[in-house]
Amino acid sequence: MSQNVLRRRRLQISNPAEMSTPRKQKFCEKGICLFVILVAVVAGIVAVCVVTLTDKNLRQRVPSPPRLEWWKTTIIYQIYPRSFQDSNGDGTGDLKGVTKRLDYLQELGVGTLWLSPFYMSPMRDFGYDVQNYTQVDPLFGTMDDFDVLMKEAKKRGLRVLVDFVPNHTSNESSWFNNSRHSIGKYRDYYIWDDGVNCSTCPDTNFKMPPNDWKSAFRGSAWTYDDNRKQFYYHAYLDSQPDLNASNPDVRQELKNVLRFWLEKGVDGFRGDAIRKLFEFEDVHRNENGVLNLTRNLPGVYPVMREWKHFLDKYSHGKGQEKILIAESYGITNEMRDAYYEVDSIPFNFAFVQKLNPSCKARCIKQIIETSLDGLKEEWWPNFVLGSHDVSRIASRMGDSFVNVLNILLLTVPGTPTTYYGEEIGMKDTFYTYSESRDPAGLNYKEDYLKYSRDPGRSPMQWDSSTNAGFSNGTPWLHVNLNYPVLNVEEQLSKETSTLNIYKSLAKLRQLPSFTNKNIIFSTVNDDIISYVRSESGHPKYLVVLNVGSRDSVVDCRGPPLGVSSAQVVLAAGSSLLGISSYRMGDIADLQAIRLKYAEGVIFKI
């Protein structure tokens, strides 16, 4: 008799519709019908009580994690629009190009896009010198292109943050033009000073800057303006005069900028150069290289509060919260806390600033601990690995380490920020001096390689076609020569590629065990760092990363886990060689977790 027939027979026999009537009759005939019903009712009541109690206990034991605000469970993906995707063949990426790649971003699993400036600008600092905050520079497209981008992003459930540049404008903005001519309220929109007489010059009436403050891009931070016969202050280029944030009119002007983009439906802002918003009032004091008169002055916080309050007017309930992130290099935990106190989010650049090839397992552990140390219950951490201002991870830490560092970024508590191209492990690109475009490098002439940010801004590598699929024209910076082998298309087809590992991580980190602030370190030796992420009532996850320069072995059976084996849910080899000795689904012995250098594994317990 075939299996199917057997199954059917069994099904027939257990079909209650076919057998209920004769049986019932038989029981009742024996006079026990009433008794059976009684027993059934009592049993039912008892069962309901037991289930309810157990369920209640269960619910008490397993608190479901509170529903978190959207920005706590998302990944922020930074797009430098010039370098992401060109749609019209002019060699510069644009808004239509971003829209074209939204499906890719959705599949990647990043929930939020942060767009670096695409506003009207003379492009001396590639858009961070804004001429008009509420217009799209034709190089990037039109306002209609932005509206389409927003609509298409929303359709895919993607959030959009835009850059907000309140510290300075372009010297070609109408505000600055009015200020240089001392017109009305614009007179005090910037920081002006008469300067001092040069006592050692042949002409002692010759004017010198009022102090020794330096521009981040070399030289004095003061430039003399012939119209106004005064110096103006600029923390960056002389074509980026600093706004006077103490002036309420300026702050109102900037609020209008926020309003404009909020009404366009953006989900928040990344505030540029926030730590430089204020300078010491007495401009006749020198810094003597200490940089304590031009950075992180306490005036920053009330202004952030003012802007965040303004954003809150547009936060219409759960899921609609608007966020304000601060670019905040070199801050202490005290300053970090001050940003949180005013309800803004200070970017945590600890990985950017402290990760280097000699910062191994214990050093990374310390970075994480310091970053989380002292955070109040309601303050949510974040980690950043790269940006348009620094060298790429593959170049900073070595080609092999992209996978382990992406695992680290996406499995530590808090919101991660990924710079475009890091999901495939793009490398810095070499540019000769004449090919270079970044003023920060060009100003340093023969030393340009030390300061140029161009290497980390090369065009996104989509495929192996001409210019890596970035542009049909001549790219503003040429693509990295490694693009025929290192590109999105190639990596999509390989299961163990850096890109596919990133995608798996993006999914994994949605689990409740990762969307909280719990982290307990397991074994950490010279090379390997391991930690446990957990949420009560959910599986625990053990993350083990070899960030050292040799193969190593650790025993993770002890606390906090106390188990001897676990299942592999993600395994990544060195991003250069690709293969891990662990395979997904394997049950592994935790007594001796052997990892080759730059290998990372996540176990489920």
Q: What are the backbone dihedrals phi and psi of residue 33, each rounded to the nearest 5 degrees, phi first? A: -55, -50
Considering beta carbons, is residue 327 or 599 the nearer one to ligand GLC? 327
Q: Which of residues 258-287 bind ligand GLC (CB under 6 A)?
A: 272-273
Q: Smallest distance, Å, CB 199 to ligand GLC? A: 34
Q: Smallest distance, Å, CB 141 to ligand GLC? A: 21
Tell how far CA 57 is from the center of its chain. 38
128 part of the interface to ligand GLC, by CB under 6 A: yes
Comparing CA positions, the residue from 557, 527, 526, 525 lying closest to residue 542 is 557
428 part of the interface to ligand GLC, by CB under 6 A: no
Q: Could you please report the per-residue DSSP string of 165-197?
A: --SB--TTSHHHHHHHTT-GGGGGSB-EE--EE
Where are the alpha helices (H) located in 62-166, listed in sequence order?
Answer: 70-73, 95-100, 102-108, 143-155
* In contact, 146 and 95? CB cutoff 8 Å: yes
d(CA 262, CA 274): 19
Q: Smallest distance, Å, CB 281 to ligand GLC? A: 22
Q: Give the C-alpha distances (Å, rounded to integers) separating 292 from 50, 212, 275, 287, 312.
A: 66, 12, 11, 7, 32
Q: Site map for ligand GLC, 178-217, x if CB under 6 A?
A: ----------------------------------------
The structure tokens 């998302």 sit at 74
Q: What are the backbone dihedrals phi and psi of residue 536, each rounded to the nearest 5 degrees, phi first? A: -60, 140
Considering beta carbons, is residue 128 or 340 the nearer one to ligand GLC? 128
How many residues line the site for ligand GLC (CB under 6 A)?
8
Considering beta carbons, is residue 390 or 486 the nearer one to ligand GLC? 390
Q: Smallest distance, Å, CB 518 to ligand GLC? A: 32
Catalytic residue of the set 86, 129, 145, 327:
327
Q: Could you please report the per-residue DSSP string of 447-460?
A: GHHHH--GGGGPPP
Considering beta carbons, is residue 239 or 467 the nearer one to ligand GLC? 239
Pick from 77, 80, 124, 125 the residue near ligand GLC by CB under 6 A: 125
Comparing CA positions, the residue from 580, 575, 550, 594 lying closest to residue 406 is 575
> Which residues neighbour 479 within 8 Å (Cβ) at sequence distance 6 or greater?
429, 458, 459, 461, 467, 468, 470
Q: Smallest distance, Å, CB 454 to ligand GLC? A: 12
List the structure tokens of 300: 């920053």
Q: Site map for ligand GLC, 336-375, x if CB under 6 A?
A: ----------------------------------------
Considering beta carbons, is residue 116 or 522 the nearer one to ligand GLC? 116
d(CA 526, CA 514): 25
Q: Known catalytic residue: 327?
A: yes
Q: Smallest distance, Å, CB 168 to ligand GLC? A: 6
Q: Give the C-alpha distances (Å, rounded to integers) separating 588 from 404, 514, 545, 577.
A: 19, 21, 15, 22
d(CA 189, CA 246): 9
Q: Smallest distance, Å, CB 298 to ligand GLC? A: 20
Q: Smallest distance, Å, CB 480 to ligand GLC? A: 20
* In contact, 308 and 256? CB cutoff 8 Å: no
Q: Smallest distance, Å, CB 443 to ligand GLC? A: 12
Q: Known catalytic residue: 29?
A: no
Considering beta carbons, is residue 127 or 573 the nearer one to ligand GLC? 127
Catalytic residue of the set 163, 238, 267, 272:
272
* In contact, 209 and 231? CB cutoff 8 Å: yes
Q: Give the C-alpha distances (Å, rounded to integers) separating 565 from 98, 543, 568, 599.
A: 44, 14, 10, 19
Pick from 389, 399, 489, 555 the residue near ligand GLC by CB under 6 A: 389
Q: Smallest distance, Å, CB 213 to ligand GLC? A: 15
Considering beta carbons, is residue 128 or 192 the nearer one to ligand GLC? 128
Q: Which of residues 211-230 bind ligand GLC (CB under 6 A)?
A: none
List the structure tokens of 431: 């540019």
Q: Smallest distance, Å, CB 325 to ligand GLC? A: 12
Q: Smallest distance, Å, CB 300 to ligand GLC? A: 15
d(CA 112, CA 118): 17
Q: Which of residues 74-113 bind ligand GLC (CB under 6 A)?
A: none
236 part of the interface to ligand GLC, by CB under 6 A: yes
- What is the three-class DSSP state of 36? helix
Considering beta carbons, is residue 96 or 388 the nearer one to ligand GLC? 388
Q: Give the C-alpha distances (Å, rounded to integers) separating 496 from 399, 403, 466, 484, 574.
A: 15, 10, 25, 18, 10
> Which residues neighbour 109 within 8 Å (Cβ) at sequence distance 6 or greater?
75, 502, 503, 506, 507
Q: Could you please report the per-residue DSSP string of 374-410?
A: T--TTPPPEEE---TTS--HHHHH-GGGHHHHHHHHH
Considering beta carbons, is residue 129 or 599 the nearer one to ligand GLC? 129
Give the burial string for 2-32 (b: 16+ CB within 10 Å, else e): eeeeeeeeeeeeeeeeeeeeeeeeeeeeeee
Considering beta carbons, is residue 127 or 425 the nearer one to ligand GLC? 127
Considering beta carbons, is residue 422 or 535 the nearer one to ligand GLC? 422
Q: Site map for ligand GLC, 310-339, x if CB under 6 A?
A: -----------------x------------
Considering beta carbons, is residue 78 or 504 the nearer one to ligand GLC? 78
* First-last CA distance in the chain: 44
Please identify the residue of the shown chain whose CB is closest to the bound ligand GLC: 128
d(CA 529, CA 543): 8
Active site members: 272, 327
Binding site for ligand GLC (CB under 6 A): 125, 128, 236, 272-273, 327, 388-389
